[in-house]
Amino acid sequence: MNKRATTKKYCLLFSTTGSQEEASRIASHLVENHLVACVNIVPSIRSVYWWNDQVNDESESLLLMKTEKSKIKEVEIAIKSIHSYETPELIAVGLDYGMPAYLGWISTAVRKSKK
């Protein structure tokens, strides 16, 4: 079995928020509900983007979420229901490699029953 075959069901999701508090709230919800195994919060990034016919330059927090691809739609629904942005970001990137034990941990974490 090649490495690609063992990693194809996993992904890294990206999203941004307008505050660390919102990032923490979203991260906690996603982990507590076993939609993602882990969320890393990068507390302060600078985002320059086009929105409402103008260039915006804002401070945001970045969420890096590890999960299985089968959870993406559920994560999207959760983020849309919690996020303050009119159009929240959710981008998925497939994995080319992951340490087998770490990938196994992701699967275990997202497959646990909600308490």
The answer to whether the Cα torsion of 78, 31, 96, 20 is positive or negative is positive
pTM above 0.95, yes or no: no
Determine contact, residues 15/76, Cβ cutoff 8 Å.
no
Question: Cβ neighbours of residue 21 under 8 Å, at least 6 residues apart?
Answer: none
What pLDDT, in 10s, does the model give residues 9-43?
A: 999 999 999 999 999 999 999 999 999 999 999 99
Please, what are the domains in the chain?
A: 3-111 (3.30.70.120)
Reduced to 3 states (helix: H, G, I; strand: E, B; else coil), residue 112 is: coil
What pLDDT, in 10s, does the model give residues 58-114?
A: 999 999 999 999 999 999 999 999 999 999 999 999 999 999 999 999 999 999 866
Q: Which two tokens stand for residue 56?
A: 């915006």
